[in-house]
Amino acid sequence: MKEKIMTDHIRASYQPVGLFEDTSFEKIHNVIYDSSIEGSILVANEIAQLIKDKQKENLNCILGLATGSSPVKVYEELIRLHKEEELSFRNVITFNLDEYYPMEKNNIQSYDYFMHEHLFNHVNIVLENINIPDGTGDLDNLYQSCIDYEMKIKSYGGLDFQLLGIGRTGHIGFNEPGSHINSGTRVITLEHITRVDAATSFIGIENVPRKAITMGIGTIKNAKRIVLMAWGANKSKIIQETIEGEISSIVPATYLQQHNNTSFILDEEASSELTRVKTQKLIIQIT
């Protein structure tokens, strides 16, 4: 079992694994909650604590942020902490994982729109501190703008914290199967399943872009702390493969097994295919 460098305050805030639960198949630290609300509040608290710790040291807090349904409740709780408990975002600099390409910023399907709607419009973040891959650029300049995005993250000393969801293909950000472990920010072609999953919000698969700009696996893996959230039964299979399977480019999220400060935050449905959970059910049935 490789060493985890989780700090004490992080370890204390997440539930410990039960004494008789068999985690021997698991290659990534994970915590299972009764509900996504409970898990999301814990994650929001970890982020808030990091922001405050950095403020005490007069430092910026560099956050890697995600879109999709998984992080929505985390953002709701961060907004509540801002409005009711004076959490300030003045020292926060954000880098979003990805954006569809091509995509106008003011399109309601854009991740730019999503982030403003679900977080940025409701907190006191400095607008210049928000970074989201630009889906409007012409193809000729894309290569350079991806390099610039990567360099900008590096110029701040890298990401202090990266929030992630997971796609059913095992993608993190939009790093689809085949992504290289050292990949950087780049343009990627979306898998059919990913486009199917996005079809409802685009009112038909024919409207879902075929390409996206995404931070790479290498970019994500350089974050000092990574938290991936997964809710619901439709994530259970990919969560089991990611936590218990071998590292492979076929399931890019498995690369996180090599990161020594990653936690997966799951609800019961998303954890239901883990060996630990299945054997636990078996024991309950037998006894």
Q: Does 266 bind ligand GLP (CB under 6 A)?
A: no
Closest by Cα among 176, 214, 216 to 99 = 214
Residue type, 77: E
Minimal distance in Å, beta carbon 234 to ligand GLP?
A: 8
Q: Is 86 exposed, middle or buried (0-12, 13-18, 19+ CB in 10 A)?
A: exposed
CA distances from 191 to 17, 145, 165, 205, 219 (A): 35, 23, 16, 12, 21
List the one residue from 96, 194, 219, 222 that touches ligand GLP (CB under 6 A): 194
Asked if 222 touches ligand GLP (CB under 6 A), the answer is: no
d(CA 84, CA 231): 27
**165 part of the interface to ligand GLP, by CB under 6 A:** yes
Residue 97 contacts ligand GLP per CB under 6 A: yes
166 vs 277 by CB, closer to ligand GLP: 166
With contacts defined by CB under 6 A, name the span among 117-125, 127-135, 160-168, 279-287 that binds ligand GLP. 160-168
**Minimum distance between the CB of residue 95 and ligand GLP, rounded to whole angstroms?**
13
Instruction: Count residues binding ligand GLP (CB under 6 A).
Output: 13
**How far apart are the C-alpha atoms of 87 and 249, rounded to whole Å?**
39
Contact 228, 166 (CB under 8 A): yes
Edge-first strand listing for the sheet containing 98-101: 98-101, 211-214, 186-189
Between residues 89 and 111, which has the closer beta carbon with respect to ligand GLP? 111
Applying CB under 6 A, the span of 60-68, 138-146, 239-247, 248-256 interacting with ligand GLP comes to 60-68
Residue 117 annotated as catalytic: no
By the rule CB under 6 A, 174 interacts with ligand GLP = yes
Nearer to ligand GLP, 125 or 238 (CB): 238
Interacting stretch for ligand GLP, rule CB under 6 A, among 101-109, 127-135, 139-147, 161-169? 161-169
Tokens of 165: 């969801």
**Closer by beta carbon to ligand GLP, 10 or else 212:** 212
Where does residue 24 rank: exposed (0-12), middle (13-18), buried (19+ CB within 10 A)?
exposed
Nearer to ligand GLP, 144 or 234 (CB): 234
| 166 touching ligand GLP, by CB under 6 A | yes
Start-to-end CA span in the chain (Å): 31
Read off the tokens for 167.
Answer: 């796609």
Q: Which is nearer to ligand GLP, 46 or 176 (CB)?
A: 176
- Contact between 173 and ligand GLP (CB under 6 A)? yes
> Quick one: which of 216, 223, 217 has its CA closest to 263?
223
Residues 64-83, mask of contacts with ligand GLP (x by CB under 6 A) = --xxxxx-------------
Catalytic residue among 26, 176, 191, 244: 176
Three-class SS state of 188: strand
Residue 253 identity: A
Residue tagged 């709780």 (tokens): 77
Give the footprint of ligand GLP on this chain (CB under 6 A). 66-70, 97-98, 165-167, 173-174, 194
Catalytic sites, residue numbers: 176
